[in-house]
Structure 1
């Protein structure tokens, strides 16, 4: 039980006992930059050679590189990014610092497995798989809301498709302070509507901590945001919400594979299924693209990219290459 787990923990007033640890995990998400720097400087000077340092976030000024610089041992630093979009997510992305030792990714993956989680490791240091996928999903979701859909319409359409949670529910859970998309998210933060932890985000949260209805004022804020950007609202059907969202994910996945960040398309599918509630029975966005036909997906992406702010839907050249030879994303998994 919980008490038995807590019995294994020891609270200490200073970090000196950490000098004998094999692994040190930092979770100082709310720390000020000078506090974080001082902590890493102390850890780097006191820990024995070979100690692995893991940060549970890349947030904060300078991100992982600033931590590595303060530590003075960048070859020993790795980020372990636990997926937080849906309850019970098993995925952890392992991001070695750009100067990390060659085997640091494998070491981080082994640690993740020891914790009972599933690791995903990008092929290139400093490049993230899940952050790229989420950025595409967030941008598609915000575009759809600007176009005329309500946030809960977007969430419902993707829940009906099979997602464990819609993008705005996920953003609330993760915290809007960690959603790096300009525009509506910024205006939400300015209002103090930063998500579930604050009690209000796109949804209002009661004692049960469950999103029931859109928070008061969100519809008005969205309407004002549209007016400021001179965007005429229209009805956005559920099938368009799904197609644009899955298309954005598949296109981002294609870029990750083409750029050698992800080793294979199945890594993209595993990451979004295990970390962010993509329906397993649909196989992930790359498999969904294969099943629906890459030619159909590419043509839909072309149509989407021709409209307002269509960059996220501009088809990656990998689509053309695979279509030319009659292949699918699955052929790159072998």
Structure 2
């Protein structure tokens, strides 16, 4: 009489698990390659902005200038004009790119960018009022711009309530129109000596900004960007909507914190360079398209930096005897994109 051999436990099917792992690795590898490619493009745009133009600088001379060497003419042009404009363009582009992507992703509406719903105009209105009516200058004007952006964001959120979509966009457009009226009124009261400064707050420019202001922006981003990266861990759940996010354990307070960080990023960018038009609006959709439809704040920041650098270079050298602010250039390219988006009817993933 023979005994039956004991049966072994059935091994789990590892094929399905391996398929899932491969499906996850694919987008991650693509994202890494995308970020690496955007970094290379950003480095190239930065080098072109600093080394090329009406006055070209060789790489060895640039390195010598950074090391403290004094080259007649070149040292002043690089350290007081080209380099600060390039550094500020990168920082402002990152702030606008990440902030705009947060708005569009969290609110699930590509029109819900700081340019459209009035956050940028709120900062500009507060700064212009501080200059023309209060006679302020320097960091108090920047502080007023940040407070103005926060005030408009809170007002838009209060009017829209718990709804996103069209209601929030319409509330933002209404407040943006009100802020534009404030700016136009204040502009009629501005002193002729402050006209150029006020125009900078209306169009957006990275020209003529002191290194101290650039350092303050860098410090602000050094605080806000890591906080944003921490808060954005729940971004994928937030994209699915408030009800679904709540079912996955992501509370409303996390979305509010992320939105607050987005407002602050846009506010400090406006405080440093003015409302550079449509950078926050363009960066997110471009980064999403490059990332095969997936949201990526990192790529959005890099795209924003490239847009501001390229726009500043084009404004400075594309037209003979004409130096255009970067906000004029980005506005010229952003407006057709907005019209195309409206024509396609892609006003949101879900009407609110």
**Shorter-chain TM band:** under 0.3
> Which structure: greater strand fraction?
1
Greater C-alpha radius of gyration: 2
User: With structure 1 as the length reference, what TM-score do the two structures score?
Assistant: 0.23
